[in-house]
Amino acid sequence: MHSRQTQPPALVPVLSRGRHRNPNKGACFMEFASYLAGERWSDHPACTHPLLAGLARLVNDYTSDDKRSELVGLIPSVIGLTSDDLHVDAQIALRCARTALPVVAADLQLAMAVSVLAAEQMLAELDGRPPGELSEESAEALALVPRAAEGARKLRRGIRVSARGFRRFAAPNTVQLAARGVAHACVNDPDALLRSMLTEAIADCERLIGRRTAPAAPALVEAR
């Protein structure tokens, strides 16, 4: 059973941007996860929820070279986190949008505010709650950007995204914009904020999904 505290073996492929043909060429976050899970080498392994895996790839690629190694300890924690429950997609999108909303450039704040409202609406529908009801965290995040929040409410009025449209388009677009926005935000340490976004998304998935035992990992060799 894996946990967020699990440490990978000492001899590991080196994390770097993009896709890699094999461990000797390096690895992105999700390629490393596929390796540890005993799956075929891939940056889209079956062991992790697709949207969470997408976030992990983005965080991997947007994190600076000198800080990317700090992501290694998170890799085992995504193994076994997979589900068809739309709650997971909505919660990941909401986590990313809320994290990005206060720090992204002004031209992205409206999109992130719209994403917060869309994810909250999807969760409300799934839970049978009244539309327009917000979690305390989302209300606080929107309060930090009142102009963007007001614009988002006007844009969202009367609009409903289907479950299929949310999963295929709205949620992935939210995650992509949020990661890019945080990476380029005028904050002291965007790498730390990206890592926090991924860490909290993993925690959300653990809460919603629980954890399954992953396959035994193959033996690791030192990348050269």
- Does the pTM surpass 0.85? The reply is yes
Residue 92 and residue 203: Cα distance in Å, rounded?
10
Q: Tell me how far CA of residue 118 lies from CA of 51, 141, 158, 178, 199, in angstroms.
A: 16, 14, 12, 14, 22
Mean pLDDT, consecutive 10-residue segments, the chain of 224 residues?
A: 46 76 84 94 96 98 96 96 97 98 96 98 94 93 97 91 96 98 97 98 96 47 38
Pairwise CA distance, residues 56 & 194, whole Å = 10
CB 58 within 8 Å of CB 179 = yes
Domain extents in the chain: 86-189
pLDDT of residue 211: 56
